[in-house]
Structures are given as structure tokens and as C-alpha cells.
Amino acid sequence: MVVIGLVGSPRKNMRTNSLVDAALEGSKSRGVEIEKIYLVDYKIRPFTGQGGSDEAFQYCPEDLSKLCEEADAIILGAPVYWGDINGLTKNFMDTVRLRLPNINGKPALGIAIAGGSGKGLFSGIQSIYHFFFHKQMRGIEPTPVSRFNLDSSFKDLRMSGAKLADLSKEKSPFSGETVDERWPEVLAYYAALKYLNCDPVDEFMTLAGDLIKISKGDKVEKAKTELETATSLIAKGQRAEASKHAVRSYQILYFAG
């Protein structure tokens, strides 16, 4: 069994790399082989052709596609740029030759690090999981990461990596003979996954909550009060009003990195 970890950041020794390492360590602890790949080492070209997805495969180097096709499970880590994954990771997802019928139920773990303001920690992960979903892979619970939950994320990712390795030994494809027959099960599976239906209001709420957890001092109580107000307004269906308090709570404790 081989689990591959793909690092989507061009910065080889930074946060994405460390987070992918943590997941790979978890996989290794379950006795599988691991391999790390830096996407920046490959000449992945943005798709500029006139054809469809089959033509796009030509824009990803053959050896990279082969590694991904043959891997028993995939970890894909990307940095968040302007609320989404970076272009290098997107070009990889657009062009890697992972044909739907062959990868049904392939276990996958996505990691996105919003290492600046933290904004985009959910939308980044959503991009990766849209890819897994459309390819009918079996994405396991994602790990959205910001600077404010970075420390605890390493532990979570070790556990996710271990889970991924276990799944790679069991193989559980979605049922159905054809791609179309599998959609109901695929959709139901993804509908139950955490974070995929979260929006920017949820992002601010989560970031404020994480800042409260790691902050000290007299501003914490004020931030807590704002977050509690946001939570109760959301419970009453007043999401737009709640968002103002969520932002305030976050801004009270935000620190530049």
C-alpha cells in the first residue's frame, strides 16, 4: 500500500509541507509506504487546449499522473491564496490523469492552510473536496487550517493520515456499475462531510473562536461576548446581523503573522 502526499505550495519548507508531513507520519504509523511529492518540481501546464478533460491530461507530466493513479490513497495540501487554493494546485487538479472509473472510492485527504488572515480556510478546503467529489474519490474529514489552529492541526492530521492508511487497505468503492449510478451514494457521502457547506460567516465565527482559545489578556472577554451575540443571532436566523459581531470578535484579537 502506498500513500502519497502532494505539496501544492511552491515554498517547499513552509506550512503546507509540514502539514502534509504530519498526515504522512500518521499513515506511516499504520505500516504503509509513503511518498512525498512537491508539485512545483513538475512541469504542470495550465490547460490552454480546445478539447475536453481527456485533452487536459496531456498538460500533466506522465510520471506524476502515473504516481497518483497507482497510489492507494492521496493527501493533497494547498496554500490558500485570496480565499481559494493556489493556481499550481488547481492546475494539477485540472490536468492530472485520474480517470473516474479507475479511482472510484480512492481514499483522499485534503488540507488547506490559510496562513495569513485565516480567511478562506473553509473555501480553500472546499475547492479540494469539490475535486475529490467530482472524481468520485472518498475524501475523508477535511482539515481546514489557519495560523490560529495550526498547533492542534498537526495532531488532527496525524490521526487523519492513520485513518487514510487504514482505508487504503480496505478499499470501499461507491456502489453502482456506472459513474451515473454512483452519484446518489457519492452525493449522500459528501453531504455528510464537515465544512463543505460552510460560508464566510462560518469562517469568521471559527477564526474568532480559535483566536479566543489561544489568546490571553483583558480583550478576550470582549471578544467572547461579541461571538456569543453572533451565535445567538444566527440561532434566530439573523445571519447578516450576526456577521458584524463575528467580524468584531475576530478583529478584537487578530494579530498579524
Ligand X SMILES: Cc1cc2nc3c(=O)[nH]c(=O)nc-3n(C[C@H](O)[C@H](O)[C@H](O)COP(=O)(O)O)c2cc1C
- 145/80 Cα distance (integer angstroms): 10
- 82/76 Cα distance (integer angstroms): 19
- Return the residue of 1, 2, 14, 198 that touches ligand X, per CB under 6 A: 14
Integer CA distances (angstroms), 161 to 114, 116, 236, in order = 20, 25, 38
Among the candidate windows 80-88, 149-157, 233-241, 242-250, which touches ligand X by CB under 6 A?
80-88
Among the candidate windows 14-22, 135-143, 160-168, 202-210, which touches ligand X by CB under 6 A?
14-22
CB of 48 to ligand X, least distance (A): 22
| Cell of residue 197, nine digits | 457547506
Nearer to ligand X, 115 or 161 (CB): 115
Give me the numbers of helices (H) and strands (E) for the chain, helices first please. Answer: 10, 7
- The yes or no reply on residue 107 touching ligand X (CB under 6 A) is no
CB of 136 to ligand X, least distance (A): 28
Contact 10, 40 (CB under 8 A): yes
Nearer to ligand X, 104 or 249 (CB): 249
Nearer to ligand X, 119 or 248 (CB): 119
- Return the residue of 53, 55, 82, 191 that touches ligand X, per CB under 6 A: 82
Nearer to ligand X, 120 or 142 (CB): 120
Contact 3, 161 (CB under 8 A): yes
Nearer to ligand X, 116 or 176 (CB): 116
- 145/19 Cα distance (integer angstroms): 9
Q: Which residues are paired to 108 by β-bridges?
A: 74, 139
- The yes or no reply on residue 157 touching ligand X (CB under 6 A) is no
- The yes or no reply on residue 116 touching ligand X (CB under 6 A) is yes
Which of 131, 122, 110 has its CA nearest to residue 83?
Answer: 122
- The yes or no reply on residue 120 touching ligand X (CB under 6 A) is yes
Contact positions vs ligand X (CB under 6 A): 9, 11, 14-16, 79-83, 113-120
